[in-house]
Structure 1
Amino acid sequence: MDLRNRPKAAICAFVVLILALAIVYGVFHHIQQEKKKETTASGKGSIPVQVAEAKVTKLENVLELTGEIKPGTAVDVYPKVGAEIIEKMYVETGDYVKKGDLIAVLDDDVIKAQLEEAKAGLAAAEAGLGQSEANLEVLEKDRSRIEYLYEQNAVSKQELDHINAQYKAAVESRKLASAQIEKAKAALNQLQVLYGEYTIRAPISGFIAARYMEEGSRTSPGQPIVRISYEDELKIVCSVTEKDFHSLRKGMKTEVTVDAFPGKVFKGVVSVVSPTIDPSTRTAQVEIHIPNQKHQLRSGMFARIKLYLGERKGLAIPSVALNKMPGTGSYYVYVIKDNKAILKNVKTGITQGDLTEITDGLSENELVVTRGQNRLYDGARVSVEDKEGKGGYRR
């Protein structure tokens, strides 16, 4: 949009808003006048009503939040062996698997051949060690005999040195053969570990949320085969405003509802509270965990959360006393003073049972009309026939 046109657009929007408010006010004023004419025409001096007092009472401080249900844990299962063909897949999307269950098997012909070769190499190394030990045993006997003969001056020093050199060489040969065995064992162990990676098993229990590859596909370490979603415990991550942050504690109980189960309440608990507030949004994150062993809830559902922060006192009236301004989200009530109905605009807080908190517009002990207000208008004369709520509020 051209920057030069922005002021014009803002002015147009403002004018439309003013016109809409004027129309709403006009309709509301017309309704009030019609009620007044109707009452005058009936010839009755006053309108019978029932009333209740606005009282300060104990209210459960409830924080209402919304969020998306997520799995407790979600794991993408990657193959550790690349460039191999998937020979068999044992799971489908939606299957439930337990930790350790078989997911897929890769073509293992090449690795099996390498294992056989490694086993043969180990056998050859062990045979070489056996030969070295046999040679060393013979040389050890010859060395002892030559040393005795040398002491008897029956052989020369040269012969003694020669047998000693052969003996040392045999000792080194046995060390080399032992090293060859260790090397062959290490190679075999490495191949056995690698061979185990050709059988892919579930690292956690859960549902197969996605299957990314099919039988015959070639694996890549950068591409997962399946995703496993752990649904036995779910979580919801919500943002809480700065003003409510100080009331949050780990372990707080919550109630969770979803559209899939109307009227059913699932219990949850606050498990994680962010230690800091995001300066850009002035909110902090809270994580709510929900047990789900029966798997009624599923990740991806939209949830409404009620987080109970404890009791507090607030001014409340019966909810039936509230009237909604046509075309708006605003509320008003009729207050009785000197046998007249006075219209007052009010701001509401939480609703608890049949009571609604009033945060602005009313004072304690004012009488509000709970029945008969459909005939009232601002300034109408009334006769109070009954007073409700005696002793009905908790102090």
Structure 2
Amino acid sequence: MAEQKTGRGRLTTWIVIMVAVAFLALSFYNYHRSQKEETTAVKEVTPVPVTVVKVEEGEMERLLETSGDLRSRVNVYVFPKISGRVIEKILVDKGDRVKKGQLLVILDASLVKARMERANAAMDAVRSRLELLEKDQKRLEFLFAHKAAPRQQLDRISAQYKAAAAGLKEAEAARREIQVLLADHAIKAEIDGVVAERFFDPGNLSDTKKPLLRLSDESLMKIELVAPETDFPRLRLGMPADFQLAAYPGRIFHASLVKMNPVFDPATRTVKLELQAANDGHLLRSGMYARVKLYMGRQNVLAIPREALLRLPGSGSYYVFVVENGLAHQRNVKVGLQQGERAAVISGLNPGE
């Protein structure tokens, strides 16, 4: 019985020793394999070729890149001067070109013409009476000079003649007034331009509070845009600008800064600007959308290639890799102007790095 127990104990001991040896062998194998994989991984890393450039000092054009709508600089709304008249004819339509003084609209002038006829008849009557009184006055002056007519009779004729002459002046003034009124029934263009809008058709009644047409002088165009507060100190009247339009791909048009609003918008902290562009060939039209570059002068900057700029995910902050002691180190930078293939660095880099 004792021998049987001793045999079992020896068997258990051998089993424990064999398990321990197997565990140690497996651990050694795994360690050896991991070391080999790491060595292989290190050997498989291929260096990535990069281009190293130095931070350079130079000049860059400061641009205000924005957009705005084209508008004609001069717009004239054509109002009638008389209300309640039937619009007989509108001689132009939207898009027609007109010259200053050209007849645009005719209102019904039948009542004014009737008044003119009465005024002409009244003037004719006054002139006839004046002619008769003039003859009587000359005759009485002759008789009075030869003591054949009393003074009282001559004075009476002279007074009648003066009253008739005053009546003639009054009739002429009334006729001129009617002529002005008659002219107001024929509405003419005040400027050279284009009929931009037409608000009425013939047959409607005129209203002095409602325009009949809108004329637009498009020989000069304007672009209204806004600039941020930070750019305001650099803005000067006369600064050049370029703009492009979708209607003419690849074509560049030129303008200049002609107006700056003296007050800022407190909500947006921006200031309104107005550019002016000559409309040679009448290619520009009101309502076109312009992509604008306003040139605000050159300034000294630290410049690097734009392709060297990287952005942190999430925050979007810019960073670059700077070579120090033969190794590339990440460094955050603050970026300013970006034009073409170059970007200006405001902080984070030094010249020559």
Q: TM-score, normalised by structure 2?
A: 0.81
Relative to structure 1, the CA distance from residue 221 to residue 41 in structure 2 (aligned partners, 3 Å threshold; closer, same or farther) is farther
Q: How far 1:221 sits from its partner (Å)?
A: 0.8
Partner residue, 2:329: 342
Partner residue, 2:27: none
Within 5 Å, give how 1:374-385 maps onto structure 2: none
**Residue 83 in 1 paired to residue 69 in 2?**
no
Partner residue, 2:274: 287
Q: How far 1:310 sits from its partner (Å)?
A: 1.5
- The CA distance in 2 between the partners of 1:44 and 1:296, in whole Å, is 60
Identity %: 35
- The CA distance in 2 between the partners of 1:172 and 1:356, in whole Å, is 96
Partner residue, 1:111: 112
Partner residue, 1:177: 164
Within 5 Å, give how 1:1-395 maps onto structure 2: 43-44=44-45, 46-146=47-147, 163-274=150-261, 276-278=262-264, 280=266, 282-326=269-313, 329-366=316-353
Q: Deviations over 1:15-74 (max 9, x none)?
A: xxxxxxxxxxxxxxxxxxxxxx9xx67723632211211111111122223322221111
The unaligned stretches of length 5 or more in structure 2 are 1-37
Higher relative contact order (CA 8 A, sep 6+): 1
Moved beyond 6 Å, runs of 4+: none
Q: Deviations over 1:141-199 (max 9, x none)?
A: 222222xx7xxxxxxxxxx7xx2122112111111111111111111111112211211
**CA RMSD between the two structures:** 2.3
Relative to structure 1, the CA distance from residue 327 to residue 121 in structure 2 (aligned partners, 3 Å threshold; closer, same or farther) is farther
- Aligned-partner SS, 2:234: coil
Q: How far 1:96 sits from its partner (Å)?
A: 2.2
Moved more, 52-61 or 328-337: 328-337
- The CA distance in 2 between the partners of 1:69 and 1:331, in whole Å, is 36
- Aligned-partner SS, 1:294: helix
Bigger radius of gyration among the two: 2
* Partner amino acid, structure 1, of 2:212: I
- The CA distance in 2 between the partners of 1:329 and 1:207, in whole Å, is 50
- Do the aligned residues in 1 keep the contact of 2:265 with 2:271 (CA within 8 Å)? no
- Aligned-partner SS, 1:50: coil
- Aligned-partner SS, 1:200: strand
- The CA distance in 2 between the partners of 1:206 and 1:43, in whole Å, is 76
Relative to structure 1, the CA distance from residue 356 to residue 182 in structure 2 (aligned partners, 3 Å threshold; closer, same or farther) is same
The unaligned stretches of length 5 or more in structure 1 are 1-36, 150-159, 367-395
Q: How far 1:331 sits from its partner (Å)?
A: 3.0
Q: Deviations over 1:112-141 (max 9, x none)?
A: 222121111111111111111111112212
- Do the aligned residues in 2 keep the contact of 1:242 with 1:277 (CA within 8 Å)? no
Relative to structure 1, the CA distance from residue 204 to residue 326 in structure 2 (aligned partners, 3 Å threshold; closer, same or farther) is farther
- The CA distance in 2 between the partners of 1:284 and 1:140, in whole Å, is 82
- The CA distance in 2 between the partners of 1:203 and 1:263, in whole Å, is 37
Q: How far 1:278 sits from its partner (Å)?
A: 3.1
Aligned length: 313
